[in-house]
Each structure stands twice: as structure tokens, then as C-alpha cells.
Amino acid sequence: MADILNQLNDKQRQAVEAVDGPVMVVAGAGSGKTRVLTYRVAHLLNQGIDPFNVLALTFTNKAAREMKARIVKLVGNADAKNVWMGTFHSIFARVLRSEASRIGYPSHFSIYDTDDSKRLIKSIVKELNLDDKVYATGYVLNRISSAKSALINATAYNNNEEILLQDKMAGKPNLGEIYKIYHNRCYRASAMDFDDLLLNTYFLLDKFTDVLLKYQRKFEFILVDEYQDTNRAQYMILKQLAANNENICVVGDDAQSIYAFRGANIQNILNFKHDYPDAQEFKLEQNYRSTKTIVKAANTIIVNNKDQIFKEIWTENEEGNLIQLVKATSDNEEGTLVANSIFETKMNNQLQNDAFAILYRTNAQSRAMEEALRRLNIPYRIYGGLSFYKRKEVKDLLAYFRLCINTKDEEALRRIINYPARGIGKTTQEKIIVAADQSGTSQWEIIENPNKYALNLNSGTLNRIAAFVTMIRSFTVQVKTKNAFELAKLIATSSGITKDLFEDKTPEGISRYENIEELLNAIKEFSEKEREKNISEEDEKNQEEASIRTLDEFMQDVALITDADVQDKDSTDKVSLMTVHAAKGLEFPYVFIVGMEENLFPSIQSLGSRADLEEERRLFYVALTRAEKKVTISFAENRYRWGNLTICEPSRFIDEIDRKYLEFPQRQRVKTVNKDSGSLKAAPGITKRNLKKINKSNFSVSTGSIEYDSDVIEKIFPGVEVEHARFGKGKVINVEGNGSNKKAAVFFKNVGQKQLLLKYAKLKILN
């Protein structure tokens, strides 16, 4: 093991060897944090720690699998596979399945994904006769998710007068009722959504002292990756589990905290030493990814943030190219300039397409980039598209699996009760739903005993329902006894799904059929891999029994798959297009950051408070540090937004980069391809004539001395009605601070509550 630790630099090794007590590893971009986590677990095992007593939490299943494989390779011990390593959701789902009866759930509870939750919310809004535009599904789900992440369950939500007042002032007074019904429906269906996996784990540990003590003793050593991305629920669960011996090691980078919109709280990492005063802190400041120019430029950006753990990232890599600045007259020309630059760089340096990434602030910006790339026949892929497990035909078959495992799963039942079509129409389904609601029982109970609940259906419909129930029952009795692949294939065939898709000979139909085939391939692979692992753990006597890996085990894994875990098989040698949020954790030799304009990046919605603006700056820092060799930053003078041509100004973040790291060419000759001859010609770019427009005085957006109307600010107090250029009309709820630091909480009719720094907000007083 000593030889292995010699592969680490001094700081990495110190962090790995500090085994006892709380430890915080502040890992700058490209500094090898994954290596530290991996070697730390390997070091613990080498010290004789039982792998069953080590808990390592990540944010993607893919990262957990890769780390576990590296650990096994490092220690040469198959027992390393027994480390409790996985995502927060997968680990705590495992705990909940073991302890489910304590909180009134069966161990085989279903896990609803976002689509399931949205379908349920949509049906609740419809049942309550509410306006689905006011109670938009996405908004309602985000509101419920935010509450759960803050450990506010449905009961607490409806008992909180302040929250209910917020909803009322936002014009959505029925949110609490929707939340309550949503919770009750999930509970009735023996289902949890992703947020419930954390919320219920917290309440399980909080309510049952013996359960808490059990897992405190079990998880003797706790390691957490990307700690800056944890929300309140995750933070509180970790506090509970680590309270006994405080052997907790968190690894993260406050400068890459960019998920506040998902509930992530940067204060968790900033306050770690306050939570654990005896904590040791190690800073990994050597960057192994990027050139000196990129690293130094990124430092000049992030230093502008007030809320941070100071560190000076450095590298021994080459100096590298200056960061190239590209100015376009329009968003379409911006796309052309970027595509041309990729084409020229690729040709001149004999590079593959996958060496390039185009990063943008919003998905809508991809259009101009896609069109330009297509004109040059440059293949590309967009991250964040529809993942394999979200395709309709795949979700349909998975719904059959879910219902066979948990017949109370109402979203699965509603999805497949009439697919393929079997004559159980919409009217019949509505009668089933009404009967279930009136009797307070599951929809499966209703269709199992239709006469008991007086559905008043004709004999033909009753026979079709009975045939469906019999089919599902026949699958259910085989869940625990039949091999996962064999049962999955039987369900796909007997349900009629494969026949229905096979008969569709359109290109789309053929693709859907192939997706079902691919799903069955995945189950086959799961069965075989698990069989090999488990046979090695069992004696010969139990070999046959141990070889059976069941469908419910496969579904436990699938239910927790995220988009980040899904591999796109068609992603080889293509330019990558994605939002900066999606790019976190990735790296590319050449990175183009496009749309660097005020109100776009930083987003106009972030300009109301320093905290929001600092998160936008961290987002730009993440974008810069994805690059290994070269960064190109582009902006447009004009851009269409909501059908209107708007005049744009360069982002303030460009002005924050030290000028010595930027390239302002006297004449930029980005080439375009002549379609007919294939020859190159000059395209408009930054010329000597317009270079003066991009000097420091004209180009900058001041972020230091801000002019504001102190008289107006002094007149803003609770109860005052105001108007914001972006958010519209609202009412001031609370005011704090003085002078230039004065802040106000304002409820806006269309967007809810916003916290605004008044010197930036430019509010107009209406009364």
C-alpha cells in the first residue's frame, strides 16, 4: 500500500492518511479529487477496516461503479465490493427497503421518477378543477420537491402559515392541498419519489433511535463526494449518521457549487468547520487538467466572489493558448463562427470531433449551433436529450415490471391497463379511479373485486378487466422464483408489447422495437453478471438458488438510474453540445463558451441578489475549467429572444478576466466553407476597425461602483407595492440591511417570492 500512496502528491497523500475524525478536502477543478476518495477508501481497507463499515456517497451511480472498480484494483481484494458505495438515493433506498415497515411501507415499494410524479400531479390538478396554467405541473412538482429537500412534509407544509401565505400571494393557494393529496396517493400506491427517499430516511433516523444507533455503528467511516452540492435533507442525514464518532470526510469545491435551483446549499461546505471545529482541512490546489493560461484566467474570475474558501489553483502544465474572444453580429453568425473555428482547428491539427465541446447557458441556444454544424457536416450530439429509460416503449414495459412487483403502483397500472389496447377505455379507468378515491383503497383492489365496489360495468368490460388481473397475477407469482431475464421476456411477449411494436414497420416503429430488444439485453447482462458474483459468495450446495437474480432486484437498480448514468451508444466522435450545468464533471481539449452576454450569462434572473450572481460566476468558472488546451468565448451584438431582436452587451464576466489572458487579434480571419467548391473564405470577425469597440473602457460592464437612487430605496418597506422590469408587479414582504446593502423580500404575482438587493433591483414604487 505504501507504494500506492507514493502515486499521490503531498496534499493528496495527507488527505488520504488523515483517517480519524472529521476531514474536509477542498478540491479545486482538475486536482484529482476522485483519486483522493478512491485511495482513501483503499487505505481504510488496508488498515483492516471492515468494508461493510465504510459508507461512500456520490451523486451518480456511474461514479460509484468506477470508484469501486478502482478500489478493487488497488487493494486486490474482492471484499472491497462490500463497501457501501453509491448515490445518496441508492444507498438510502437500500436502508429504507430494510426498514420500510417502521414507516408503513412494504419493502418492495415503487420509486416514482419525474414523469410518474408529473402524471400524478396533472391528474390531481384536473380532479380539483384547478387551472392547469396557474398550477403548471413543473412548477407544482418543483415546489413540492423544494419543500421535501428542506425536510418539510405535507403536514408541516399545511401547518405553516408563512408558506401558505406565500402560496396565496403567488396566486396559488391550493398548493398545500395538492401536496397533501400527492403524498396520500403515493403512500396508497406504496410508492416514493426521489425526494421521499431522503425525506423518509431523515424521519426514519429521527423517529427511531434504535435504527439511528444501528446505522451509526454500521457506518463507522463516512465519505462524501461533491459535498458542495448537498441539500438540507442530505446534510441533516449526514449529521445524524456521523454524530456518534464523527469519522466523516467530505470532498468538494465551493467554487463549483452551481445547483442551488435543485436545493443545493453552498453553506454546507462553507460551514463545515463550524459544524466540526476539530476538522482537518486539506486543499488540493494543483490542477492536472488545464493549461496555465486557463487556470490563471479562472482564478481571476472566481476571486470576485465573497462567499468562498480561498485557494490559489496552479498547474505545472504548459502555458497554452490565450483565451480567444469572438464577437458576432447575431446569434446565427455566432453559430457560423464557432462551427468554422471547429472545422479549421480540426483540419489543421488532425483532431477528432469529440475533442470539441460547445457550452451554453440555456438549451435554446443550441439551435444556431446545430444549424451551423449541419451546414459543415460536422456530427454532434446534444447532452440532456431523451435518455434510454425515458423512452415511451421502455417505460411501458418497465411499468409492467413495476406492477408485477407492486400491484398498488397506481401510475404503472394507469399506464398499462389498456396498453396494448384491450378494451378498457378512458371512461372505465375514470370509474376505477373514482371508486378507489371514495373507498380509500388502491385501484388494484378495485379491479380485483369490481362487483364489491359497484363499478357498474358491462360484462364484456368486466371480463377484459378479469383477464388483465389474471395475467398480472400470473407474472407476480413468478417474481421471486424466475430468473429476471426469463420473466422479463415472458412479460414482454405475453403482454402483447413485442407484437404491437413488431407490426409497426415504420422507421420509428422499428426503432421502438429495437429499444425493447436492448432493454431485454440489459436484463440479460444483469442476470449473468450478478450470477457470477453471487456464486462466488455461496457454497456449492446453494449454488443453484444463488444463481437466480430476480426482476425486482433489476428494477431496484433501474429506478435509481439518472441521465448522468446512461451511456449514449451513438456518441462516438461527435462534437458535444450541452448546458454548462450538464458539463460539470466533464473535460474536453477544446471548449467554446457561447452567448456570453449580459442577461443571458449571467442570467437576468440572477441579477437581483449577490448570492445568485455569485452562483452564475461559479457557473462560468466551471465552464472555463472544463477545457484542457484552449477556450473560445463568443458573444453576439444582437440576438432573437421570444421573437424579438434585442441588442446585447458583453457579459460582465468577460471583463473580470485579466486582459493578459485574452486574445484580441488585429484581424480575425475565421473561415467559412464554400459549399460548392469546398474552398475557404474569410468570414466577418473582430477586425482592426471594430477592435476599438472591445477595449476595456467601452467593453466593460461595471460591477464595482453601482449608481442607485437612495431616495427610492429609503421609501421601500413592508407593504409597499412595487414593479420590477423582469418580474412585474409585487408587494414588499420584508426589508433588511441599510444603505447600499439593503435587501427586500418581494412577492411577485407571476414568479413568487424573490430576494432582491435594492441597489441592483431598480424597483419602481407604485403606491
Taking residue 322's Cβ as centre, other Cβ atoms within 10 Å add up to: 18
Catalytic one of 11, 33, 68, 232: 33
Q: Sign (positive/negative) of CA torsion 2, 8, 14, 17?
A: negative
Q: Which amino acid is at 151?
A: L
Helix (H, G, I), strand (E, B) or coil at 629: strand
The cell for 267 is 453553506
SS3 readout for 284-302: ECECCCCCHHHHHHHHHHH
The cell for 700 is 466593460
Q: Pick from 283, 284, 228, 287: which is nearest to 256 by CA?
A: 228
Q: Are 522 and 569 in contact (CB under 8 A)?
A: no
Taking residue 291's Cβ as centre, other Cβ atoms within 10 Å add up to: 22
Taking the C-alpha atoms of residue 441 and residue 404, their distance in angstroms, rounded to an integer, is 18
Cβ partners under 8 Å of residue 159, min gap 6: none
Active site residue 38: no
Catalytic one of 116, 167, 225, 614: 225
Q: Pick from 626, 603, 631: which is nearest to 615 by CA?
A: 603
Cβ partners under 8 Å of residue 727, min gap 6: 746, 748, 750, 751, 754
Catalytic one of 12, 166, 201, 256: 256
**Pair type for strands 721-724 and 728-736:** antiparallel
In degrees to the nearest 10, what's the CA dihedral of 692, 696, 698, 702?
170
Q: Which amino acid is at 307?
A: D
DSSP notation for 159-224: T-HHHHHHHHHTT-TTHHHHHHHHHHHHHHTTEEEHHHHHHHHHHHHHH-HHHHHHHHHH-SEEEE
Active site residue 225: yes
Q: What is the DSSP letter of 149?
A: H
Name the phi and psi angles at 260, rounded to 5. -60, -30
Catalytic one of 113, 116, 167, 226: 226
Q: Which amino acid is at 464?
A: R
Grid look-up 407544509 returns: 157
Task: Decide: residue 488, CB within 10 A, 0-12 exposed, 13-18 middle, 19+ buried.
Answer: buried
CA distances from 491 to 399, 478, 485 (A): 11, 11, 10
Taking the C-alpha atoms of residue 87 and residue 533, their distance in angstroms, rounded to an integer, is 21
Q: Are 86 and 61 in contact (CB under 8 A)?
A: yes
Cβ partners under 8 Å of residue 388, min gap 6: 394, 515, 518, 566
Catalytic one of 13, 14, 34, 461: 34
Active site residue 308: no
Q: What is the DSSP letter of 260?
A: G
Taking the C-alpha atoms of residue 54 and residue 249, their distance in angstroms, rounded to an integer, is 11
Q: Are 520 and 492 in contact (CB under 8 A)?
A: yes
Per DSSP, what are the bridge partners of residue 248?
222
Taking residue 696's Cβ as centre, other Cβ atoms within 10 Å add up to: 8
Active site residue 370: no
CA distances from 542 to 81, 185, 537, 546, 551 (A): 21, 41, 10, 6, 20
Catalytic one of 626, 742, 743, 754: 626
Q: Are 291 and 318 in contact (CB under 8 A)?
A: yes
Residues annotated catalytic, as ranges: 33-34, 225-226, 256, 626
